[in-house]
Amino acid sequence: MASIIQITDFNAPELDIYARLTENQLLNRHEPDKGIFIAESPKVIERALDSGHKPISILVEDRHIESQAKYIIERCGDIPVYTAPFDILTKLTGFALTRGMLCAMKRPALPTIEEVCKGAKRIAILENVMNPTNVGAIFRSAAALGIDAVLLTLACSNPLYRRAIRVSMGTVFQIPWTFIDTVEDNISNGSTSNYIEQIKVLGFKTAAMALKEDSISIDNTKLLKEEKLAIVLGTEGDGLSDATIASCDYTVLIPMSNGVDSLNVAAASAVAFWQLGRRQ
């Protein structure tokens, strides 16, 4: 049974993870096995628990303990549950809690690329997408529109940052994902992006989403007929590196109207996933 603890000391060290540690400190790159992430709202926490993530503690508005938070607290077992009224929690965390509840959880060990892609037919690859809002939105679209897995280069925002989790509505816990290592040096040096070659070895054809004159339209029937396809999306503003585009099997363009030349990467991902996730 959980231990309900009324907050009386804002400076209590056990509250640091909610109030004083940055996302990078929670990530703990030097000791990744001690990394933590924060899930926010009962629905998101429930999805994390359903995926096997291990809770450490809960921070919850006192009026929710016997209502919308009750089931989550019961599921989490013997962990501390810190509680206080709304105004105190807002002062502690610096923002209003979504649905009045946060849960600190252990970061899982990341799977390999091969494990993530096993059995997948459609995957997304994010190259240097640095905004956690965009990462979260892309995951939500991927979950909704038939994408089996997501791979991210090391410069991407971490999908387990609080805002990414919140924007994704917890779908980051439902889709297999991992980081692709040894990518940044290749891209920054302008050489061939070897991570594309890694994906090709796994049997995927690769489609770079880019604004290029030699691009094919996203409704090209050959794309839809590919048995295994990786949809590659680039960073905000600059898009994919030239090396990555050159390494891909296809360069794909979303047709535009009214003089608009591009979409935000999160919006583009939804269009691409809807069209290319439908196999013929």
Q: What string of DSSP letters covers 72-114? A: HHHHH-S-EEEEE-HHHHHHHHSSPPGGGEEEEEEPPPPPPHH
In this prediction, residue 188 carries a pLDDT of 46
Residues 155, 258, single domain; the answer is yes
Residues 190, 65, single domain; the answer is no
CA 222 vs CA 120, 121, 276, 278, 279: distances in Å = 19, 15, 10, 12, 10
φ and ψ at 252, to 5 degrees?
-120, 140
Residues 124, 244, single domain; the answer is yes
- CATH number for the domain that contains residue 22: 3.30.1330.30
> Residue 187: pLDDT above 50?
no
Domain end (from 73, 106, 139): 106
In this prediction, residue 255 carries a pLDDT of 85
- Give the mean model confidence (pLDDT) for residues 201-217: 90
Query: 21 vs 230, which has greater pLDDT?
Result: 230
Beta strands in the chain (DSSP E): 3-6, 36-40, 55-61, 80-84, 101-106, 122-126, 149-153, 177-180, 205-209, 216-217, 229-233, 250-253
Q: 171 and 146 in contact (C-beta within 8 Å)?
A: no
Residue 191: pLDDT band by 50, 70, 90 thresholds?
A: very low
pLDDT, tens digit, 9 for 90 and up, residues 57-92? 999 988 888 888 889 999 998 999 998 887 777 777
> What are the residues whose beta carbons fall under 8 Å from the beta carbon of 2, sequence distance 6 or more?
58, 73, 74, 76, 77, 78, 79, 80, 81
Residues 126, 227, single domain; the answer is yes
> Residue 266: pLDDT above 70?
yes
Q: Diameter of the chain by CA atoms? A: 64
Residues 195, 243, single domain; the answer is yes
Distance CA 125, CA 131 (A): 15
Residue 185: pLDDT band by 50, 70, 90 thresholds?
A: very low
> Residue 200: pLDDT above 90?
yes
Residue 184: pLDDT band by 50, 70, 90 thresholds?
A: very low
In this prediction, residue 3 carries a pLDDT of 86
Tally of domains in the chain? 2
pLDDT, tens digit, 9 for 90 and up, residues 125-163? 999 999 999 999 999 999 999 999 999 999 999 999 999
Residues 63, 196, single domain; the answer is no
Distance CA 179, CA 151 (A): 6
Nearest to 94, CA basis, from 170, 161, 35, 15: 15
> Residue 96: pLDDT above 70?
no
Distance CA 9, CA 241 (A): 50
Look up the domain containing 198 and give its range.
113-276
Residue 189: pLDDT band by 50, 70, 90 thresholds?
A: very low
Query: 123 vs 219, which has greater pLDDT?
Result: 123
